[in-house]
Amino acid sequence: MSKITGGCLCGEVKFEVSNDFSQFHLCHCAQCQKITGSAHAANLFCQSDHITWLSGTDKTKRFDYPNRYFARVFCTECGTGVPYLVNKGKTLIVPAGSLELDEDTVLNVAPQDNIFWHERAPWYDAALDAPTFAGFPK
C-alpha cells in the first residue's frame, strides 16, 4: 500500500497515511464553512491505524463542537486542520488539504459527493462559474 505524506503549513506537524481511503466527502454544512473559513470541508475517511505520526502531535489541539458530531484538530502554530479520530477511535478523518499531493499521486478515491448541499455558501454557485487563472489574476 503506497503512503502519502501530509502535514501543516508551518511544518511542525507531519504524518504519513496509507493511500487506502474508504470515503471522500465535500461537506458544505454551516459548521464546516465556519471552521475552514471557506466554502466546504474536504474530508477523507480511513481506518485509524493507517496513519503514522512523524512529528508535532504535541502541537495539535482538538475542538469538539457541542451538540453535534463534529470536531476539528489543528496545528496550534499555523491553524492547519490535520487528521483526527472519530467513531470511538475506529475511524480517522483526514482533511484532504493537509496531504502533500503532486501530479504523480492519485488518491484511491475521488470526491464522491457534496453533502449538506442545501447549506452551501450563497456565493458558491457563482464561484463555480468564475474564471480561472494559473496564479494571481492579470
Which residues are near Zn ion by CB under 5 A?
8, 10, 12, 27, 29, 32, 75, 77-78
- How many DSSP H helices and E strands does the chain contain? 2, 11
19 or 43: whose CB is closer to Zn ion? 43
- Residue 21 class from Cβ within 10 Å (0-12 exposed, 13-18 middle, 19+ buried)? buried
Q: What is the C-alpha to C-alpha distance for residues 136 and 16, in angstroms, rounded to an integer?
A: 31
Q: What is the C-alpha to C-alpha distance for residues 132 and 136, in angstroms, rounded to an integer?
A: 9
Q: What is the C-alpha to C-alpha distance for residues 62 and 54, in angstroms, rounded to an integer?
A: 18
10 or 121: whose CB is closer to Zn ion? 10
8 or 73: whose CB is closer to Zn ion? 8
Query: Minimal distance in Å, beta carbon 96 to Zn ion?
Result: 13
Query: Minimal distance in Å, beta carbon 133 to Zn ion?
Result: 27
CB atoms within 10 A of CB 56: 19
Query: Minimal distance in Å, beta carbon 48 to Zn ion?
Result: 20
Query: Minimal distance in Å, beta carbon 80 to Zn ion?
Result: 5
20 or 76: whose CB is closer to Zn ion? 76
